[in-house]
Amino acid sequence: MRVAHNITALTAWRNLNQVSGQLGKSVERLSSGYRINKAADDPAGLVLSENLRAQIVGMDQALSNTQDAISMIQTAEGALTEIHSLLDSMRSLALHAANTATITSEAIAADQQQMDSAIESIDRIATTTAFAGKKLLDGSVGKSIEIKNSGVVTSASVGKASVPGISYVTVHVTSAATRATLGKDEGEKVSGGDKTLSGAGVLSSAGETTTLNINGVQVTLNGEMTFSEAMETINDALSSAGLEIHAKFITVTGGVYDTISGANNSGYIALVHENYGSDYLIDLYDEKGLIISVTSGSYTKHARGTDISGYFKYKRVDTSGTTYTHVNAVGDGLTLKGASDTVLEDMAITLNSGSNTSDKDYVDVVRLYGSTAQFQIGANAGEIYAFSINSMRASELGADYTTQQGAEQRGLLALKTGGDYALANNPQEAIKVIDEAISDISAERAKLGAIQTNVLESNQRSLNVTRENLQASESRIRDVDMAKEMMEFTRNNVLTQAAMAMLAQANTLPNMVLTLLR
Q: What's the distance, CA 474 to chain centroid?
A: 38
- Tell me the residue type at 239: S
Which sign, positive or negative, has the C-alpha torsion 351, 405, 157, 449? negative
- Residue ranges of E strands in 86-239: 130-131, 134-135, 144-147, 153-157, 167-175, 179-182, 189-190, 209-214, 217-222
Residue 465's pLDDT band, with cuts at 50, 70 and 90, is very high
State the fold for domain 42-138+395-479: f41 fragment of flagellin, N-terminal domain (1.20.1330)
Domain boundaries, the chain: 7-33+481-517, 42-138+395-479, 143-176+307-371, 179-304
Residue 118's pLDDT band, with cuts at 50, 70 and 90, is very high
Q: What is the rounded distance in angstroms from the CA atom of residue 51 to the CA atom of residue 48?
A: 5
The pLDDT of residue 108 is 94
| Mean pLDDT along residues 135-142 | 82
The pLDDT of residue 30 is 87
Tell me the per-residue pLDDT of 2-21, one tens digit each, with 9 for 90 and over: 666 778 888 888 888 888 88
Q: What is the rounded distance in angstroms from the CA atom of residue 181 to the CA atom of residue 184?
A: 7
Measured at the alpha carbon of residue 140, what is the angle toward residues 135 and 142, in degrees to the nearest 5? 115
Rounded to whole angstroms, the maximal C-alpha distance in the chain is 160
Q: What is the rounded distance in angstroms from the CA atom of residue 286 to the CA atom of residue 332?
A: 30
Who wins on pLDDT, 236 or 492? 236
Residue 508's pLDDT band, with cuts at 50, 70 and 90, is confident
Given a contact cutoff of 8 angstroms between Cβ atoms, the answer to whether 257 and 269 are in contact is: no
Tell me the per-residue pLDDT of 287-334, one tens digit each, with 9 for 90 and over: 999 999 887 678 999 999 999 999 999 998 877 778 899 999 999 999
